[in-house]
Chain A
Amino acid sequence: SQELEQSPQSLIVQEGKNLTINCTSSKTLYGLYWYKQKYGEGLIFLMMLQKGGEEKSHEKITAKLDEKKQQSSLHITASQPSHAGIYLCGAHNAGNNRKLIWGLGTSLAVNP
């Protein structure tokens, strides 16, 4: 079965630093979603990418999907303690499949 690999597994950065989280698949993805989760809570939708080469930004977070639609990156600029949490990528593995496959998540800590 297709899996999504996220890297790094965990990350600790100093406040103000930039960081990048990656989400990789061995097969083409049909819709890539980034979510943020705080421990013991639900997931907050961040961004959705569907087209190869697509890039979206919201506040200090930018997400990209490569041309082959097999890899996505999430970049946070000038990180803040409020960015701390678990970042999860999810994706459809077929164009007509409503189900999402998920990465294991990247745990981010931002030290003030």
Chain B
Amino acid sequence: GAVVSQHPSRVICKSGTSVKIECRSLDFQATTMFWYRQFPKQSLMLMATSNEGSKATYEQGVEKDKFLINHASLTLSTLTVTSAHPEDSSFYICSASSSPYSNQPQHFGDGTRLSIL
């Protein structure tokens, strides 16, 4: 149980392209989803927290117009990197939790490796 599917697993595209990443909870309803960015040999950096049907809460320093998050249903959240540039190249991981409270673990997707040329 608690399977989270993230697609695509890898994206290579030209600078200026917008890229959409999907995160789906397959066997549970995700009231809260989280989007992280991970740099080599560094820990997870939380970008934003989203609740179904409401606007995402972005962490300090994360541009909400650059990283658009939509959580339209209890099983799907999307992250769109708009007008991507080489500095946006990174490993993006989503996670989902079945509880809006802090007493349930987050379950993670397999991540998306984004490479901007």
Residues of A within 8 A of B (CB): 30-31, 33, 35, 40-45, 48, 50, 88, 90, 92, 95-100, 102-105
Q: How far in angstroms is the closest Cβ of chain A from B77?
A: 15
Question: How many B residues touch the partner, as a band?
Answer: 20 to 34
Number of A-B contacts (CB under 8 A): 56
Chain B residue contacts of A45, Cβ below 8 A: 2, 105-108
- A98, B32: Cβ atoms closer than 8 Å: yes
Please give, as numbers and ranges, the residues of chain A lying within 8 Å of B110 by CB-CB distance. Answer: 41-42
Query: Cα distance A43–B108 when bound, in Å?
Result: 6
8 A–B contacts from the bound complex (CB under 8 Å)? A31-B103, A40-B91, A42-B108, A44-B108, A48-B105, A95-B102, A96-B101, A98-B49
Q: Which residues of A contact B102 (CB under 8 A)?
A: 30-31, 92, 95-98
B42: A residues at CB distance < 8 A: 104
Contacts A50-B103, A98-B97 given; does A105 touch B43 at CB 8 Å:
yes
Residues of A within 8 A of B93 (CB): 42-43
Asked if B113 lies at the interface with its beta carbon under 8 angstroms from chain A, I say yes
A35 to B111, CA, bound (A): 15
In whole Å, how far is B102's beta carbon from the nearest beta carbon of chain A? 5
Within the complex, the shortest CB–CB distance from B14 to chain A, in Å, comes to 22
Q: A104, B43: Cβ atoms under 8 Å?
A: yes
